[in-house]
Amino acid sequence: MHRKKRSSSRGFVKKKPIPEYSNKKIVAQPKEDVRLNKFIANAGVCSRREADTLISKGEIKVNGKVVQEMGYRVGSEDTVQFKGKVLKREKLVYLLLNKPKGYITTTSDPQGRKTVMDLIKGACEEKLFPVGRLDRTTTGLLLFTNDGDLAKKLTQPTHKIKKIYQVTLDKPLTKADLEAVVEGVTLEDGLAKVEEVACLNPDCSTIGMEVHEGKNRMVRRIFEHLGYGIERLDRSVFGGLNKKDLPRGKWRFLQEKEVLWLK
């Protein structure tokens, strides 16, 4: 097992208390007193930027009066209307999927290919979207939510969200290349560094990697850069969440404690 700058004989996945899971939906009540554009976006009308346009054009009413002030805030007792329709503040939902191969991470596909949305169809009334991406052939944990603030936090590289991958290569990883991964590999968009790396079988053809960076397809590109093909890539941990009791292709709602972990 290797860490940046040093090595150790301990496993790199720290065990944490695991809650009992169920498919009971846990929702979080949105915070009171939010910006009007965010309220409109959370109600499923449009994006925040588009909401600003609606506000500036005088198309939004709060408690029966037109509001055109940018940054205006509304509370739980306020009534917001668009085109005469009262907007309801959408509840925040969090869902975890163990993605199988053959599905692309997008909310829709003009080519008619299978998407991850097909796997969670009918899970809830709220409109969810995937947080980040997994390639079509990559399996493992994928989070869905309608909480835009949390999604932004989990996908921004500066927050360094923990992700653990198991990688099966088409040939054993040499000692020199293992050390190269530990030190960091220079890709076209800069240096790609992992937090920890370990050989998971005797010939080192199966690798465990802990990644905190958010570079696109980073794990695949590291090994392709070193001349290896990837036969299997699976994300087993995402932000402290793991795949315990979650079979491939199945989903579950997060427990309240797990939502707090992520936040």
Residue 173: both structure tokens together: 């990883």
Structure tokens at 66: 């037109």
Q: Is the pTM of this model over 0.85?
A: no
Please state which architecture CATH assigns to domain 91-157+248-262: 2-Layer Sandwich (3.30)
pLDDT given for residue 260 in this prediction? 86
**Is there a contact between 192 and 4 (Cβ–Cβ < 8 Å)?**
no
Q: Do the domains spanning 91-157+248-262 and 162-238 agree at the CATH topology level?
A: yes
Topology adopted by domain 162-238: Alpha-Beta Plaits (3.30.70)
- Could you tell me which CATH class the domain 30-86 is placed in? alpha beta
Token pair of 159 as six digits: 């927050």
The residue extents of the domains of the chain are 30-86, 91-157+248-262, 162-238
CB 116 within 8 A of CB 133: no
Position 23 scores a pLDDT of 52
pLDDT for position 232: 97
pLDDT of residue 3: 52
Coil/strand/helix, residue 7: strand
Measured distance CA(148)–CA(241) in Å, rounded: 19
Give the residue among 42, 38, 68 at the shortest CA–CA distance from 54: 68
What burial class does residue 116 get, using C-beta atoms within 10 Å of its C-beta: 0-12 exposed, 13-18 middle, 19+ buried? Answer: buried
CA–CA dist 206, 227 (Å, integer): 15
Mean pLDDT per block of 10 residues along the chain (263 residues) reads 45 40 49 82 81 94 94 90 87 94 94 96 91 95 91 84 96 96 93 94 96 89 97 95 95 92 85
Report the catalytic residues. Answer: 135
